[in-house]
Structure 1
Amino acid sequence: MWDEERLPLSQLAIQGELRYVTPNDVQQQLATLDHIGTFMSQDVTELQKSAESLPWVAHASVRKQWPDTIKVFLVEHQPVAIWNGNGLLNLQGEVFQGDVSLLQQEVVKLYGPEASNQQVLTVYRELKPQFAQFGLVISSLLLNDRRAWQIILDNGIRLELGKESLQSRIARFFMLYQQLDQTVNRISYVDLRYDTGAAVGWYTEQELEQERQNDQSH
């Protein structure tokens, strides 16, 4: 039963709803193992650990099927955000190192100090529907090393929110945003790091014209 000439493991079956992992990825990963034994001698735990070391794989289940087949069922990470530029966050807010260039849909860009990924994702999920009520989309949310928050909207407006009173400062921005009405497309940034009021930075006509030319060229 341990004779590789008689009972080699020669077939590999890949299963699961896969968008980012290819059978070739799995085959190449398992090929890096020092040795794959016979149907009887091969430890499936070793194969499972190897498959789960692939960046996009959240979980792998491996079993043998008589007489010569390894069946690998894969569950992929579901990307919900780009983390610090080159990492990704899954639905649970865990960091994984999938290739950002492979993303098949737009996701928010989140930034923060080490181990702040869960916190930043939670805050984003709380804020997203609030901004959506005003037809606004958060493209980036940043928590800096001083624990101050910054938001960049998909229309280019940057919000400086500071460290405290996050919700009240965002509510103040919404009030201001509604009052500015037709001039919102000229806003560069809104600094809300005050007890009351806000400082608004405006694009110059020259900057707006450059922006329009860039949009047309794209």
Structure 2
Amino acid sequence: MEAILDVETEYKQKPRFKFSLVDASFLLFVVILIVFGIYSTVAWMRDSGRLPLSQFVLEGNLEYVHNSDVQSALSRIQPFGTFMTQDVTQLQHAVEDLPWVASAAIRKQWPNTIKVFVIEHQPAAIWNGTALLNDSGQIFNADPGYLHEKDQDIVKLYGPEAKSEDVLRTWRELKPQFEGLGLEITSVVLNDRLAWQIILDNGIRLELGKDALNERIKRFVDLYRHMNEKVQQISYIDLRYDTGAAVGWLSDEHRHRE
């Protein structure tokens, strides 16, 4: 025998879902409860009296950046958030604005601490008398007057702002050639016309011009080796010629004052 399925009968037997006023009220209550919970949580997170960031720890191999510098930088952030709400990137930017800070990494430590790890600029040269260059030739606006004793004898470099890396690189390339003569470069100048000038630790000024820099330095080295005691009488040497050089001598009066 074939079984006949009574579709209409089975359909009538299925219970139908009825959405009553009680169900609607309960659903509304749940929604209100969720919204209130979210609002309360956000308000709690934003409450400056709860989980305030009240301490910081400064870390790193530091010589020029001090706790007071970092504290002052962070205090300028207004309004200051809580542990939950304060943006770490904002803290990082505030610390990296300090003159001696090359980079900073910030993290929050539960429940109220900011950990600040700082890498300092390493001073390679004094730049234009008022700023400093780091090892990469980047300018940072720290005051050269506050250099520690071990850094006070670093070379003085001068030039257009966009040429800081070139000037530092040129000094590094030329330095060994002068050391071979027992001389130190105290200053390198690249003027607005992009002509080079070098001042040595014995007071001699070299005028080198814009072109054939290495060839002119070699010419100076050869000349200097043949001058013997006369070098003490030299004021400047002008090497801006295709061959040879013009030597300026200290006057008798100047030598007496010296």
TM-score using structure 2 length:
0.80
Q: Does 1:126 align with 2:173?
A: yes
- Counterpart code for 2:78: D
Alignment of 1:82-101 (within 5 A): 82-101=126-145
Does 1:161 find its partner at 2:205?
no
Cα deviation for residue 114 of structure 1 reads 2.8
Unaligned ranges ≥5, structure 2 = 1-43
SS at structure 1 position matched to 2:226: helix
Whole-Å separation in 1 of the counterparts to 2:248 and 2:60: 50
Q: Which whole-Å deviations, capped at 9, do the CAs of 1:4-37 have from their partners, x for residues lacking one?
A: 2221111111111111111001101111111211
CA distance in 2, matches of 1:16, 1:209: 51
Secondary structure in structure 2 of the residue aligned to 1:124: helix
- The one-letter code sitting in structure 2 at the alignment partner of 1:23 is N
Alignment partner of 1:107: what SS? coil
Q: What is the match of residue 216 of structure 1? A: none
1:205 Cα deviation after fit: 2.1
Deviation >2 Å, runs of 4+:
none
What does 1:189-208 correspond to in 2, within 5 Å? 189-208=236-255
Deviation at 1:147, TM superposition (A): 1.2
Q: Which residue among 152, 169, 176 is the counterpart of 2:199?
A: 152
**Aligned residue in 1 for 2:112:** 68
Q: Distance in 2 between matches of 1:111 and 1:190?
A: 19
**2:222 aligned to which of 169, 175, 191:** 175
Pairs within 5 Å for 1:9-28: 9-28=53-72
CA RMSD in angstroms comes to: 0.9
Deviates more, 1:1-10 or 1:77-86: 1-10
Larger Rg: 2
Q: Report the 3-state secondary structure (helix = DSSP H, G, I; strand = E; otherwise coil) of the residue aligned with 1:136.
A: coil
Question: Match for 2:68: what amino acid?
Answer: N
Q: Which runs of 5+ in 1 are unaligned?
A: 212-218
| Richer in strand (by share) | 1
Q: Distance in 1 between matches of 2:157 and 2:202?
A: 17
Aligned residue identity for 2:224: Y
Partner Cα distance (1:27, 1:79) in 2: 23
Q: What CA distance in whole angstroms lies between the structure 2 residues aligned with 1:21 and 1:99?
A: 13
Higher helix share: 2
